[in-house]
Amino acid sequence: MMNRKTLAILVVNLFLLLTILSTVPAGAQSTGQWITSYSVTDLKTGQILRQIDFATGQNITSPILAGEELNVTVTIQISTSSPNTQLSLSTDLQHSAIQGTYWELQSKTYTGISGSTYNPNQQSISFNQNAGTLIISCYGQVSQGITQTPVGNGITIDKKADTVLIKLTDPVGNQLDKIAVSVVDAKIAQYDTLYASALNTLSQMKANGVDPAYIALYQSVIDGAQNQANMGLVDNAITVLTQLSSTQSSVVPVTSSTPIESTLFLPVTIVLVVIVVIVMFMFVRARGRVSYDKLVIEDQIKDLEGLTLRASKIDKNISVSLESVKERLKSLVGA
C-alpha cells in the first residue's frame, strides 16, 4: 500500500510533465507620466471596470471581456507647450456598435485640439502639444475573438490577450504613454473564479491543521490546473478545479497519528491522485497521443471500482466522490 510520501511524490512527478511552455501575457498599464488618471466603463451597463488615479493611488479593477463595449476616459497632463509638435492618440478598439464616434472631447477649454484637424470618428487623432489638461473619452469594442485561437482537432486555445485601449505617441511614432489591459473571455473568467476559490480553500486547510501530505497533493492539483490554463487549455483547467472542489464534501484528514485518520487518508488523497490522471489524459489527448494513455486510464477505472467499494465502508461521501471520478474517466475513454 502506498504511504503518504509516495503519493505526494507521485503527484509532483506527474505535474513536472505539465510545466512546459506555460506563460501568461501580463497586462501593461500607464506609467502615469502623461496619463495621470483614467477610467474604463462598460458602455451597455455603466459598470466601472477600471478606475486608476496615479496621484491618489485609487485602483479599481474588474475583468474586461472580449467583445465588450467600452468607454475609456483619460486625463492627460501636458506640462510644456510646443505648438509645432503634433501628438497622437490611438486605440486598438474596434468601432463601437452603440456609440457614433471613437472620440469625445471632455475638456472643452483645452486649446490643442482644433476642429480643422480633429476627426472624432477615426481610430487615431492628432493634436498640438499645448500645455494644459486634456480629458478625452474613447469609445469602442474589444475584438470578439481576441482570446481564442483554433489549433485543429476541435481544440480552441483560450488565453488572456493584451490590448491597447489608449496610446499616446510623439510625431515620429514613439510611445509616450499607454493604457493596456489583459482581456479575458467567459471561460477564463470562470477559471479565475475557481482558481481563487481553490487558493482560498488551500489557505483555510493550512490554518486548520489539515495533514501536510494532503495539502501537498491539493497544491499539486491546483498547480496542474494552472499549467493547463497557462497553455490555453482552459476547459481542462475548469474540469480539474471543479472536480477538486467536489472533494471538499469528503472527510479531509487532519494531522493525526490515530488509526482512524490513517485509514481516512488513503481514500481521500487517492481522489486527488485520480484527478491528476485525468489532467494527464486531457493534456495528452490535446496533442493527439491517446492510445497508451487510454489503457492507463482503463486500469485506473478498474482500481477505482475496488477502492470505491472499500471507501464506502469508511465514509459515504468519499465513495460518492470516487464514483464521480470513475464515471468521468469512463466518459474520457468512451467506456
* Domain limit, last residue, from 158, 184, 210: 184
Instruction: Note whether 202 and 179 are same-domain residues.
Output: no
What is the reported pLDDT for 6? 42
Q: 30 lies in a domain?
A: no
* pLDDT tens-digit map of 117-169: 688 999 999 999 999 999 999 999 999 999 998 877 777 889 999 999 999 99
Question: Among positive and negative, which fits the CA dihedral 155, 160, 166, 167?
Answer: negative
Range of the domain at 322: 4-22+188-333
What is the reported pLDDT for 36? 94
Q: 29 lies in a domain?
A: no
Q: 27 lies in a domain?
A: no
Cell numbers at 35, concatenated: 496619463
Q: 148 lies in a domain?
A: yes
Distant-in-sequence, close-in-space partners of 79: CB < 8 Å, separation ≥ 6: 131
Instruction: Note whether 48 and 164 are same-domain residues.
Output: yes
What is the reported pLDDT for 225? 84
Instruction: Note whether 161 and 212 are same-domain residues.
Output: no
Instruction: Note whether 259 and 167 are same-domain residues.
Output: no
* Domain limit, last residue, from 129, 158, 184: 184
CA–CA separation, 181 vs 197, rounded Å?
23
For residue 85, the SS3 value is: strand
Phi then psi for residue 152, to 5 deg, are: 95, 165
For 56, counting Cβ atoms within 10 Å of its Cβ (0-12 exposed, 13-18 middle, 19+ buried), the class is exposed
Instruction: Note whether 85 and 172 are same-domain residues.
Output: yes
Q: 313 lies in a domain?
A: yes
What is the reported pLDDT for 278? 59
What is the reported pLDDT for 14? 44
Instruction: Note whether 14 and 150 are same-domain residues.
Output: no
The CATH number that applies at residue 133 is 2.60.40
What is the reported pLDDT for 193? 94
pLDDT per residue rounded down to tens, the chain (335 residues): 444 444 444 444 444 434 433 333 333 355 557 999 999 999 999 999 999 988 888 888 899 999 999 999 999 999 999 888 999 999 999 999 999 999 999 998 888 887 666 889 999 999 999 999 999 999 999 999 999 988 777 778 899 999 999 999 999 999 999 999 999 999 999 999 999 999 998 898 888 887 776 777 778 778 878 888 888 888 888 888 887 776 655 545 555 444 434 444 444 555 555 655 555 555 555 544 444 445 545 555 555 565 556 555 555 555 565 566 566 556 655 65
What is the reported pLDDT for 200? 92
Q: List 141's β-bridge partners, or say none.
A: 69, 94
Instruction: Note whether 225 and 284 are same-domain residues.
Output: yes
Instruction: Note whether 177 and 196 are same-domain residues.
Output: no
Instruction: Note whether 155 and 210 are same-domain residues.
Output: no
Q: 50 lies in a domain?
A: yes
Cell numbers at 281, concatenated: 489524459
Instruction: Note whether 46 and 178 are same-domain residues.
Output: yes
Question: Among positive and negative, which fits the CA dihedral 74, 79, 84, 87?
Answer: negative
The beta-carbon contacts of 307-316 under 8 Å, at least 24 apart in sequence, are 307/267, 307/270, 310/267, 311/267, 314/263, 314/264, 314/267, 315/250, 315/251, 315/264, 315/267
Q: 79 lies in a domain?
A: yes
* Domain limit, last residue, from 150, 184, 218: 184
Instruction: Note whether 162 and 238 are same-domain residues.
Output: no
| Domains in the chain, number | 2
Q: 105 lies in a domain?
A: yes
Instruction: Note whether 131 and 43 are same-domain residues.
Output: yes
Cell numbers at 264, concatenated: 481516512
